[in-house]
Amino acid sequence: MNFIETQLKGCFILEPKIIKDQRGYFMESFNEQTFEKGIGQNVHFVQDNQSYSSKGVLRGLHYQTGEHAQAKLVRVLQGEVLDVAVDIRPGSPTYGQHVSVLLSAENQLQFFIPRGFAHGFLVLSETATFFYKCDNFYNKESEGGIIFNDPILDIDWQFETNELIISEKDEQLPNLEQAKKVW
């Protein structure tokens, strides 16, 4: 596995070693020892989640606060998504900056997002199955979010806003500055 740190310290793109032959392929998608050595820290995942969505569905930008903050290791099992992490760590030199990664069943890339980041993704293919590991359990009282189209973040979602399918809850999220007031 190849680990590539992004411009946001602690966020890594993981490129698996894929062994292909006439039968198909094999890859090791997760090995705790390899993973922890690659990112330089210990992370113990406790929960796996999976979602299925249609083209244009945007989920996010979500995060958990305090003792319930979550690190995530995300990947796409079927389809293609634009995955986005936003640094919301107070005092971070890259606070408010984001990184976007194209994840697909074809490229088999994974994306590690540490605690202290908001996360979201947009489905670019007709459908997508999205899978992720979390290092902390979900806690409803600790959930937060930032509106996807915050002009300060200036995220290029590669879709026209009127073509996006967004939950009512995600449409009501605050911008970064408003969200910061409740941390």
Report, as residue numbers or ranges, the catalytic residues: 62, 132
Contact status, residue 73 vs residue 45, Cβ threshold 8 Å: yes
Beta carbons of 132 and 67 less than 8 angstroms apart: no
CB atoms within 10 A of CB 69: 17
Beta bridge partners of 103: 81
**What does the alpha-carbon distance between residue 90 and residue 69 come to, in Å, rounded to a whole number?**
14
Residue 121's Cβ-count burial label (10 Å; 0-12, 13-18, 19+) is buried
Given its phi and psi angles, is residue 57 left (phi above 0), alpha (psi -120 to 50 degrees) or beta?
Answer: beta
